Amino acid sequence: MELIHPHTKGDVIDVVREANAAAHRLLPVGGRQHMDKGNPYEVDAELWTTQLDRLVTYEPAEMVAVVEAGMRVGELNAILARDAQEWPSDAPEEATVGGTIAADAQSPRRLRVGRVADSVLEAEIVAGDGRFVRSGARTVKNVAGYDLHRLCAGSLGTLGVLVQVALKLRPIPELRRTLHVPGSLLVGERLLQGVPAAAAVLATPGEVEVRLEGWRDEVERQTEAAREVAPGLEAVDGGPFPAHRAWAEEPVLVEAAVPASAIGTVTEVAGDRWGALLGVGLVWIGLEDPGDALAEVRARVTEVGGIAPVVRGPGGLGDAPLPARDVHARLKAALDPNGVLAPGRFWGGL
Amino acid sequence: MADVDGARRALEDALGTSEVLSDPLALALYARDASMVEGGCALVAFPREPEHIAACVRIAAEHGLPIVPRGAGTGLAGGATPIGDALVVCTTKMDRILDLRPRDRLAWVQPGVVTLDLVGAAAPHGLTFAPDPSSQQSCTIGGNVATNAGGAHCLAHGVTSNHVLALDLVLSDGRIERLGSEGPVGAGYDLRAVVVGSEGTLGIVAAVCVRLIPLPEEVRTFLLDFDTVEDCAATVSAVIAAGVVPAAMEMMDRGIVAAVEAFAHAGYPTDADAVLLVEVEGAEGAIGPQARAVESAARAHRVRTVRQASDERDRALLWKGRRSAFGALGTIAPHYAIHDVVVPRTHLVDAVAGLYEIARRHAITLTCVLHAGDGNLHPHLHFDAREPGARERVLAASEEIVRLAVSLGGSISGEHGVGLDKRGFLPLVLSEDDLAAQACVRSAFDPDGRMNPKKLLPSETRCVELTPTPQDRSEARWS
């Protein structure tokens, strides 16, 4: 296995073109935080983007930062914090910006901050054929052309190598607070009703964590609203969210995505190590091994029209059907005609 | 060669005689949208079910007709303007809200549902559909999806793309595929994301699953006025820099205010050079700090008066001023052209100064309304088309306006789209390879180019593959 460390976008273009010429398969790699996500595949070399880590421009009054894709999430947020802003991906500090986007990593605050891909305003990619392609614009609104960059978000590096992105940022809230409430899905649902603007309501088998963020008065009043539902709640200001991740301690981590109202049908077969984002429909499930338990979760998820990829450990993405499979195949063939980018890693064996 | 008669008979069989129009008056009515471009069509069909759309697509293909989807026809870029022997597929009779599920915070709707009707249906559940284009009283969800519509309130909530979870798309071969998912993530590439904003060039949307968000507990609306456009624009940047993202920040220049005030009597100060309509919203307790930050940013930039809407009626009146801006402008000159460009918001001052300079050079009256928080400018060029040379001057100025926005780091369209109107300008912001990749997306969905042809991309754009040159091969790392 060869490890290649390009220093410039031009280097990336060269590497990808050379891989095409030599029929070698490449895996674009960032901070190695989402390596297990995907179906089993083999490559001849890893293309590390970690040397592409410059901050290109950052104007706080724009609330937009342009960074090279190999910048670490921790470094980016340290820079933004000086101006009280954040890129709310909540990915691990060692993750790269590009890797976080390519893996479509899910923020536990998604109810409030939305999908990571929604924050990508513009992207520069080196497509699988070595073509340098830009799409989007460095403005919060832009409708000039198709949002090609949105296809790369979540593509697991199978269409192109992300080399630079413009990110829409958010102000860091004045106060962040987690409410700990004994109970599970039922009390969680009542809390979501009582505090509809919460940043997250995370239910686990024995406890609900409600994340509040915003202006101090706002958070205080939301706390009072939550107290009407759950008088015994415990409030902790600051701190990480979630405070506990029991599901992450197991060897296999599944990230099920279902309609929010179907969460209960998934957790029924999820064992005792799970966390569910109410109002969102994400359920993280920790399993000891990818055997029957995973099959059972996937069967249940399929019934409600969801997916259940494994994001850490073995187990792959699952066999959910691809919509418009021919469109998928033509896109892959157009952008990566020789199949050099992690062939087989993506859904449907793409 | 297009067989219009054969297509008409087949459509009448599939949809019913009353749902197909081919008389000259109808064809003239549907030959254009709200843009300035006049087109032409051969047939107009009104599907009522997804299967009807699929039939339209198949019949058009069999009889050699290009197909042009259309909602309410409020688009300003010519995206729904048909060309040649087109079959116009008008979705306005597909106007049912199919399923509204408050617990999932979503609704499935047909494409012809009027945007404001969806807002009204969601409200009793404490929810709302955030995108609010100025035409929300008449435009349709299908059109919102096609143009990735914006509006005054996308500053805080984002554009249509952020509010579409899934959609049923009729592909160019008549197949119906569900893209996206009701859950937070689906399998495969995010095809939904490229269909939003694709102006009907990738297929026709037969149903949309929209995200609904909780209505804010509180809303407060301010009208600020300034002696200079510069102070007004600087206030916008200062508010954002202070860590406050209002729900909306709408700026209007003196010319707009004069026209609006005469029309809506909203109490806008007509002696100010610029006014700023700011709306902050949120949960209880979130309003005070935002309002204070807005006021302090405005005072630091010499605001003349700060008027706060006293009640819901007053708030509606302030918004009536803004929302009637387009309608009020007929009083300035017989004709006007509306533009839509976007710049980074810190360049608003340069952009506005540049606009007036362009107008002065071409001897055109220009007024400007801006979604200032988004850096999205809507300059209006007022003219009398009967005056010799006026149209040409407007076209020349229009091109300069687009070039100005691009030179300031912006883009050719913020929310109205490319359509027919701006496809010639795409090379200003996208390279040949960028455009080729765009064309690849199009042909992946519609290999034969049947769906709304000649829109969105410049006509010469092709999806070409780049193959390594022999030189590249000789230097290959693994050779």
Nearest C-alpha in A relative to B415: A143
Q: Is it the case that residue B84 has pLDDT exceeding 90?
A: no
Q: Count CB pairs under 8 A between chains A and B.
A: 302
Give me the pLDDT at residue A84, please: 96
CATH code that applies to domain B332-418: 3.30.70.2740
- Give me the helix-helix angle, B254-264 and B312-323, nearest 10°: 120
Q: Number of C-alpha atoms within 13 angstroms, CB side, residue A107?
A: 22
Supply the pLDDT for residue B37: 84
CA dist B177 and B167 (Å) reads: 8
Q: Are the beta carbons of B415 and A172 separated by less than 8 Å?
A: no
User: Looking at residue A246, what is its pLDDT?
Assistant: 94
- In the predicted structure, residue B156 carries a pLDDT above the cut 80: yes
Q: Which B residues 161-200 touch A at CB under 8 Å?
A: 161-162, 169, 171, 175, 177-179, 181-191, 193-194, 196-198
Select the residue from B106, B172, B185, B462 to test the A interface by mutation, using most A Cβ atoms within 10 A.
B185
User: Strands across the sheet with A132-136, in order?
Assistant: A55-59, A64-68, A160-168, A120-127, A132-136
Domains B216-324 and B332-418 share a fold: yes
The predicted-structure confidence for A24-45, as pLDDT tens digits, reads as follows 999 999 999 999 999 999 999 9
Chain A window 225-254: which residues touch B at a Cβ cutoff of 8 Å?
A: none
CB B374 within 8 A of CB B324: no
**Interchain pair A135, B438: CB under 8 A:** yes
* CB contact (8 A) between residue B434 and residue A155: no
Write out pLDDT tens, residues B264-308: 898 999 999 999 999 999 988 999 999 999 999 999 999 999 999
Going by C-alpha positions, the residue among B172, B182, B228 that lies closest to residue B208 is B182
For the entire predicted model, the pTM comes to: 0.95
Residue B263 has pLDDT above 90, yes or no: no
Q: What are phi and psi of A268, to 5 degrees?
A: -55, -35
**What local confidence, expressed as pLDDT, does residue B321 receive?**
85
Query: Average pLDDT in the A271-283 region?
Result: 97
Q: Which residues of B touch A110 (CB under 8 A)?
A: 184
Condensed to tens digits (0 to 9), the pLDDT of residues A292-332 reads 999 999 999 999 999 999 999 999 999 999 999 999 999 99
Q: Which residue in chain B is spatially nearest to A139 when comparing CA positions?
A: B344
In this complex, do A133 and B415 lie within 8 Å of one another by their Cβ atoms? no
Mean pLDDT, residues B40-48 taken together: 97
Between CA B133 and CA B144 the distance in angstroms is: 8
Query: How far apart (Å, rounded) are the C-alpha atoms in residues B168 and B53?
Result: 11
| Domain ranges for chain A | 2-171, 175-237, 246-312
User: Using a CB cutoff of 8 Å and minimum separation of 24, what contacts does A264-273 make?
Assistant: A264/A185, A265/A300, A265/A303, A265/A304, A266/A297, A266/A300, A266/A301, A266/A304, A266/A306, A267/A185, A267/A205, A268/A300, A269/A293, A269/A296, A269/A297, A269/A300, A270/A297, A272/A205, A273/A205, A273/A246, A273/A247, A273/A249
Residues B94-110 have pLDDT tens digits of 999 999 999 999 999 99
Q: What is the pLDDT of residue B463?
A: 77
Please judge whether B431 and A134 are an interchain contact, meaning their C-beta atoms are less than 8 angstroms apart: yes
- Tell me chain A's radius of gyration from C-alpha atoms: 21
Q: Which segments of B74-171 are extended strands (E)?
A: 86-90, 97-101, 106-109, 127-128, 164-170
Domain A2-171: which CATH class?
A: alpha beta
Tell me, what's the pLDDT at B469? 38
On whether any CB of chain A is under 8 Å from the CB of B406, the answer is no
Instruction: Tell me whether the CATH fold assigned to A175-237 matches the one assigned to A246-312.
Output: yes
Q: What is the mean pLDDT of residues B309-322?
A: 91
User: Which listed CATH number (1.10.3720.10, 2.40.50.140, 1.20.1260.10, 3.30.465.10) goes with B97-214?
Assistant: 3.30.465.10
Dist CA A300 CA A308 (whole Å): 10
- Judged against a pLDDT cut of 70, whether residue B117 lies above it is answered with yes
Which chain B residue has its CA at the smallest distance from A192's CA? B103
For residues B121 and B107, the answer to whether their CB atoms sit within 8 Å is yes
pLDDT, one tens digit per residue, over B356-365 is 999 999 999 9
In sign, the C-alpha dihedral spanning B256, B262, B268, B273 is positive
The CATH number of domain B4-90 is 3.10.450.50: no
Judge whether A140 and B374 are in contact, CB under 8 Å: yes
What confidence category does residue B1 fall into, taking pLDDT thresholds of 50, 70 and 90? confident
Using the predicted structure, report yes or no on whether residue B87 has a pLDDT greater than 80.
yes
283-312 in chain A: CB under 8 A from chain B: 305-307
Could you tell me which CATH number the domain at A175-237 has? 3.30.70.600
Is the pLDDT score of B252 beyond 50?
yes
Mean pLDDT of chain A: 97
What architecture does CATH give domain A246-312? 2-Layer Sandwich (3.30)
pLDDT of residue B474: 33
Residue B340 confidence (pLDDT) above 80: yes
Per-residue pLDDT, B464: 65
> B437–A335: do the CB atoms touch at under 8 Å?
yes
Closest Cα of chain A to B265: distance in Å? 31
Cα distance from A311 to chain B (closest Cα, Å)? 13
Q: Is A32 on the interface with B (CB under 8 A)?
A: no
Higher-pLDDT residue of B244 and B459 is: B244
Q: Where do the DSSP E strands lie in B74-173?
A: 86-90, 97-101, 106-109, 127-128, 164-170
Distance from first CA to last CA of chain A, Å, rounded?
21
What residues of A are in contact with residue B445 (Cβ under 8 Å)?
Answer: 324, 327
B285 and A217 in contact by Cβ < 8 A? yes
Is B105 within 8 Å of chain A by CB? Answer: yes
Mean pLDDT of B204-219: 96
Condensed to tens digits (0 to 9), the pLDDT of residues B61-82 reads 999 999 999 999 999 999 999 9
**A327–B191 CB contact, under 8 Å:** yes
Q: What is the pLDDT of residue B479?
A: 29
User: For chain B, which residues make up each domain, given as ranges?
Assistant: 4-90, 97-214, 216-324, 332-418
Average pLDDT of the segment spanning B132-155: 94
Q: What is the mean pLDDT of chain B?
A: 93
pLDDT at B326 over 90: no
pLDDT of residue B476: 33
Higher-pLDDT residue of A298 and B478 is A298
> What pLDDT was estimated at residue A98?
98
Q: Which of residues 26-45 of B touch A (CB under 8 A)?
A: none
Q: Say if CB B128 and CB B215 are below 8 A apart.
A: yes
Span B216-324 CATH architecture: 2-Layer Sandwich (3.30)
pLDDT over 90, % of chain B: 85
For residues B469 and B255, the model is more confident at B255
Q: Is A327 on the interface with B (CB under 8 A)?
A: yes
Work out the average pLDDT over B167-194. 97
Which positions 183-202 of A are in contact with B (Cβ < 8 Å)?
196-197
Cβ separation A144–B430 shorter than 8 A: yes
